[in-house]
Amino acid sequence: MQRERFARRHKMMIGLQAQGTIRTGRSLWLCQWRQAAVALTLMLLAASACQSIPAAENRHPGVVWMTSYEEAMAVSQQTGHPILTVFTGSDWCPHCKTLEDNVLSSEAFRSWTDAKVVLLMIDLPQAGISQAVRSERSRVCIQYGVRTFPSVLLIGSDGGKLAVQTGYTGQSADVWLTQLAQHLPARAQAVLEPEKATDKVCQSLDEAVVTARGSKRPILLVVSRPGDSMANSNSASLINDPEFESFAHDHFVVARVAPTASNGSQTSQSMENLLGGAELPDNAVELIVTDDGEIPLFSQSGAQPPARIVNGLKRFLAARQAARLSEAARR
């Protein structure tokens, strides 16, 4: 009886298998393999399609690079900004990588290019891009005669070359930007002239006092005699020092002033009070911190190295904050 049931069931399964209703283990495996192959093919096609679509890249903090020449040119024509184009080989060119680390990732570069240029990165790595993208980027290289990596071109809205800089030898961001600026024609220099620290410095005590009221920061006076070339050179060097500039402008209203003004003026009297009645020696630069332009809170010589000056200012701010907290606690 059981044998008959088994025989009927076996015959039924054979019939269903013949009709394609039931798959054996082998046929099921083949079906799953085909489905996986189709899915993988679709994924590769999608990835290739995505690669062929130009997009913006955020390779460096605060800086967005375009990767399509046509799109960058369209933005340039719309805004009137030139295109700063970097030709690089990200996975095979060591100098390109160093340029990115030392310059393109720097705050100096971000500030120098902010809202002044359209940034375009033409990257030709050995792997990681589709053939269509490689062909398009190679066409741009040929169009502008690029044979050295890295190369940096400033391209006008009409497609013409405004400036070319090839190679990289390890310069700092400031030096590299200065060298690039030397290659710029007058009309491009007007657009890309780096902002100097002196552009953010008040030129009189009165201006500093008014500015400080709005910012609620103390005033840092850099005092030197107008006719003293050595002192003026030292004060300018200090104001443009990157470490001093960054710290001072974050915490103070900076003013570059002379020790005296017109005789008998209120400003002249204020400067005399701030200097404690002493006359500023030859070649000397004095730094004075004040809240109101009348009473000195802290002073130090500007002849010290910038790092030491910054440390002195940090100690002053820390002591000032501690005194305020102590006074608040007593209340």
Which residues are CB-neighbours of 194 under 8 A, at least 6 positions away? 108, 111, 112, 177, 178, 181
Q: How many CB atoms lie within 10 A of CB 140?
A: 20
**Domain containing residue 167: CATH number:** 3.40.30.10
Q: What's the structural domain count of the chain?
A: 3
Which two structure tokens, joined as six digits, stand for 59? 């390779």
pLDDT at 73: 93
Residues 163 and 85 in one domain: yes
Residues 135 and 205 in one domain: no
Per-residue pLDDT of the chain (331 residues; tens, 9 = 90+): 555 654 555 555 445 444 444 444 555 445 555 665 555 554 544 444 334 334 445 566 667 899 999 999 998 888 888 899 999 999 999 999 999 999 998 888 888 787 678 999 999 999 999 999 999 999 999 999 999 999 999 998 889 888 888 999 888 888 888 877 776 665 555 555 555 555 578 988 988 998 888 778 999 999 998 878 788 888 888 888 888 988 998 899 999 998 876 544 556 788 888 888 888 888 899 999 999 999 999 999 998 999 999 999 999 999 999 998 888 888 7
Find out whether 300 and 287 touch, Cβ atoms under 8 Å.
Answer: yes
- Domain boundaries, position 233: 198-330
Residues 230 and 306 in one domain: yes
Residues 64 and 182 in one domain: yes
Residues 93 and 44 in one domain: no
> Facing residues of 166 across strands?
151
Residues 135 and 214 in one domain: no
* Stated pTM of the model: 0.45
Which strand (E) or helix (H) includes residue 321? Answer: helix 306-330
Residues 34 and 8 in one domain: yes
